[in-house]
Amino acid sequence: MPRVPLLALVLVALMQTVSALPAAAAPRPLATLAPYLEDREDYAGPMPVRQRNGGQIRGHVIGVDYRSGVMTVQGRNGRVLDILVLPSTTISGRSGFQTISDISRGAQVHVIMSRRGNNFIAQIITLR
């Protein structure tokens, strides 16, 4: 038997075999994998949201929720932001370091922030 027809016959058989195989399944989203991942010892939970530079704002305080640690600031351009004030936030004023209880409605502030997801987090607050 000549080699070319034999090779063609093998290729046709191979193509029919491959076409009969099921198509590769699309990768499952993380939500459907979570039950399986949670059983693994090295699973540390879903990936955290990256923290990034949130910019800065200068303006006046229009509200402070001391219980939740959220300060609402209206910038000079009219933009209003809810900013989370953590215990690690540096707060300084004319008389040295301050605490969130020293921030009151109407205070002039300059806030340098980071951003995690949609949340602004105060890193440095300067009272004016």
Q: What is the DSSP string of 19-56?
A: HHSPPPPPPPPHHHHHHHHHTSTT---SPPPPEEEEEE
**Domains (ranges, CATH) in the chain?**
3-38 (no CATH), 52-127 (2.40.50.320)
17: tokens are 């075999």
Backbone angles phi, psi at 62, to 5 degrees: -105, -5
Alpha helices in 28-114 (DSSP H): 30-38
Instruction: Give the strand pairing for 80-93 and 119-127.
Output: parallel
Spatial separation of the C-alpha atoms in residues 126 and 128, rounded to whole Å: 6
Measure Cα distances from 99 to 77, 85, 117 in Å: 26, 10, 25
pLDDT in tens, 65-120: 999 999 999 999 999 999 999 999 999 998 899 999 999 999 999 999 999 988 99
pLDDT band per the 50, 70, 90 thresholds, residue 12: confident
Which is it for strands 119-127 and 96-97: parallel, antiparallel or unpaired? unpaired
CA atoms within 13 A on the CB side of 108: 3
How confident is the model over 40-65, as pLDDT tens digits?
A: 555 556 656 677 888 999 999 999 99
Per DSSP, the three-state class of 6 is helix
With 0.85 as the threshold, say if the pTM is over it: no
